[in-house]
A and B are shown apart, each in its own frame.
Chain A
Amino acid sequence: MTRRKPVNLAKAARTTTFYILVVGVAAAMLLPVYFIVSLSFLSVREAYSYPLPLVPALETHFKLTPGKRGYLVSVYDRIEGAYESVLDTKELQKMSEYMRYQLATPVTIEDLEQQVARLETEDEVYFTRRRNLLANYQTFFGVAGYNAVPALIRSLQICALTIVISLSIGGMAGYAFARYVFKGKDLLKFSVLFVRMYPGVAIALPMIKILANMNFYDRPIGLSLVYSIGNIALTVWITASIFMGIPESLEEAAQVFGASKARAFLRITLPLALPGLAAAAMYAFLGAWNETVAAIILTTFNPTFSVVVFQTVLGSVGQVNLAAAGGMAMALPAVIFTFFIRRYIHQMWGGVTV
């Protein structure tokens, strides 16, 4: 007979506490994300009900009865477990609009006519229609005057420009800091960080003046120049340390074996520096994508996406679900970009990081 190993109570307690902690921390991080995702799919009625539903309903159950002013529309409430009357009207147009905008359930007027016709023979009419889950997103991008789509494209342009400018200038400076010895090198390397010390708002006026003089005000190139200033500093530090980690002899070897200086850099050093460049690109992207204050100041008719989201949050009072959809639309490109670039940050050669 085999004897069972005695349970080590202290160890079990430690392990259990550890996992409870881990789950707690994970929940604290994931719950807000979960709520904003779920909120962005809710209808207005759901978003303002209490308690808030954990998941959006996939379909809406309607009940039609004769009402005082016309037809009384009731909606099944999952939480109460009963039908609640929401609207009493004779106009089918108004009824259809209410269903579309408040309940995020598109029901055509012809459809409603048929249902109303059934009331002549029945006391109560029940019918179920599918929810439009993306209603908030459609509203957000379709809201007149905001032009969310052009703003999104503009923001992507700004991000691309910022990456190109800060990586080319910052990367070259980083290479110089890593490879060459010159007077005042350390001071210069520190001084590139000085530009990051100024709060953008404090120097907003001169920025507007200068950009306007350059004819860059309210244009993507202007904002990307402003964003590049801070990002160049970061890129210099990131790439300098990466280039320092790549032995110069790798480049020299390429030169001895038939490559020109430029080719040796492009074929040997650059691929090896890719993780650092990818990290720098990620910083540049996220910085440019999320920045709002300078974008508010430096744009008027051509806002960036972050400004549009900001205006939605402020402007659509009583529309948290719209704000959630905007927030999600704002977060998604950054998440996608980060996941895409992650591959390069974890670049491995033969299973071992360089």
Chain B
Amino acid sequence: MATLTLTHITKRFGRDVVAVKDFSLEVPDREFLVLLGPSGCGKTTTLRMIAGLEEATEGTIEIDGVDVTDLPPRKRDVSMVFQNYAVWPHMTVYDNIAYALKLKRMDKQTISTMVKEAATLTKIDQLLDRFPAQLSGGQQQRVAVARAIAVRPKLFLMDEPLSNLDAKLRAATRTELKAIHAKTEATSVFVTHDQAEAMSLADRIVIMKDGGIIQIGSPDDVYHRSANLFVADFIGTPPTNFMNVELEVENGQCQLAGPHFTCVLSAENAAKIEDHDQRQLVLGVRPESILIVSEDDAVLSAECLVSEPQGSHQIVAIELGDKIVKIIAPAHPVIAPGETVHLTFDQEALAFFDKETGLRI
């Protein structure tokens, strides 16, 4: 159990490539933190620097207040689950889990107890005599997790551990990982590019891009209060719909005017953006915040391009100019392509972004 503090971490490869720049973060005890971002954003490099597998060019890393920046991995008291599992093929499952404990010179009895405990927690206690090559991908992944939790580390690091599993197994393992974290309460840092995985696992999500932090917040924060256009676009499937609009003030009433619609704003929304100096804005609307209503209440009407039934709901796509806008609608009534739908916005869920900077207003 530990806290992790990263202060102004920068990582440069060679002279020109900056993988991580000025990264500062505090992870409190027992937190499950997820580093989320597109590939090449520096999230794995950050994790590897925490593990000690990569040297930080600048900045300091502290675990429990102790500066570990220059310590080799083995002295940091962390454990890690690798993307390709990295279970040692020439050792049995038991030896894989026990290796770290043996290096700590624990006695055989204690090792045996701890290995069995970790194996039971990850449900591989029947496989202890097998070699990794005799296991399926999912089982190997469990061995990697068991190996990591057996050492009872201060910090539990995971580098996209679920990305090599098939979709169904990934969802199931995700749930189990969360349950294991609830039991072990180890401070965890989890790297992924899958926003759904991040949302379901994280206490807090750190969204990274080009080596820097874009937003830190709870899953709820990053979804409903995205810091900028990038986050709003990255989080959620289907992603947020963006529309260019102009703010008009007529007779003390605020309204948004786009090329395809005009929408009168609620008092709260109006108060939010009235003072902004720009009149050109980007409106962000989540697919579930566009509502299908009767013709009289509609802000805009459009023809349905396609609809994708999802069982519990359907995703309706409409075309506004050259943009496709996606709407999450109830499963019934089924909307057929070509059918005209009448739409309005859920005023409480509208987000406004500056057109120049992309920042949320």
Contact = CB atoms under 8 A, between A and B. Distances in A.
A257 B147 contact: yes
Contact of A250 (B88, B131, B134): B88
Contact of B72 (A260, A272, A351): A260
A255 B151 contact: no
Interface in A304-354: 349-352, 354
A254 B134 contact: no
Contacts of A247: 84, 86
Contacts of A258: 74, 99-100, 103-104, 151
Interface in B45-101: 51-53, 72-74, 78-80, 82-84, 86-90, 92, 99-100
Given A250-B88, A254-B88, A354-B89, A259 B134 contact: no
A354 B132 CA distance: 10
B103 A253 contact: no
B112 to A, nearest CB: 17
A226 interface: no
Nearest to A255: B73
B133 interface: yes
Interface string A240-275: 000000010110111111111100000010011000
B134 A350 contact: yes
A254 B79 contact: no
Contact of A257 (B72, B79, B84, B133): B79
A252 B133 contact: no
B78 A254 contact: no
Nearest to B103: A258
Interface residues of A, number: 21
A271 B89 CA distance: 10
Contacts of B80: 253, 256
B82 A350 contact: no
Query: Which of A252, A259, A352, A354 is most buried by chain B, counting CB atoms within 10 A of its CB?
Result: A252
Contact of B131 (A254, A260, A261, A349): A349
B103 A271 contact: no
B143 to A, nearest CB: 11
B53 A252 contact: yes
A83 B89 CA distance: 68
Interface in B13-56: 51-53
Interface residues of B, number: 29
A257 B131 CA distance: 19
A261 B53 CA distance: 11
B290 to A, nearest CB: 45
Nearest to A246: B89
Nearest to A347: B90
Contact of B103 (A252, A257, A350, A351): A257
Contacts of B87: 253
A261 B51 CA distance: 14
Contact of B90 (A256, A260, A271): A271
B90 A272 contact: yes
B260 interface: no
B130 interface: yes
Interface in A59-116: none
B131 A352 contact: yes
Contacts of B82: 249, 252-253
Nearest to B75: A258
Contacts of B88: 250, 253-254, 268
Query: Which of B52, B53, B92 is most buried by chain A, counting CB atoms within 10 A of its CB?
Result: B53
A350 B130 contact: yes
A246 to B, nearest CB: 9
Contacts of B92: 350
Nearest to A260: B74
Interface string B110-131: 0000000000000000000011
Contacts of A350: 89, 92, 130-134
B147 to A, nearest CB: 7
A198 B82 CA distance: 47
A252 to B, nearest CB: 5
B84 A354 contact: no
A257 B90 CA distance: 16
B99 A257 contact: yes
Contacts of B133: 349-352, 354
Given A249-B84, A350-B92, A354-B89, 6 more contacts: A252-B51, A255-B52, A256-B51, A257-B147, A259-B74, A349-B90
The 9 closest A-B pairs by CB, nearest first: A350-B131, A257-B100, A352-B133, A258-B103, A249-B86, A253-B86, A255-B73, A349-B90, A258-B74
21 contacts: A249-B83, A249-B84, A250-B88, A252-B51, A253-B86, A253-B147, A255-B52, A255-B74, A256-B53, A256-B73, A256-B79, A257-B151, A258-B100, A258-B103, A259-B103, A260-B72, A272-B89, A349-B132, A350-B131, A350-B133, A354-B90
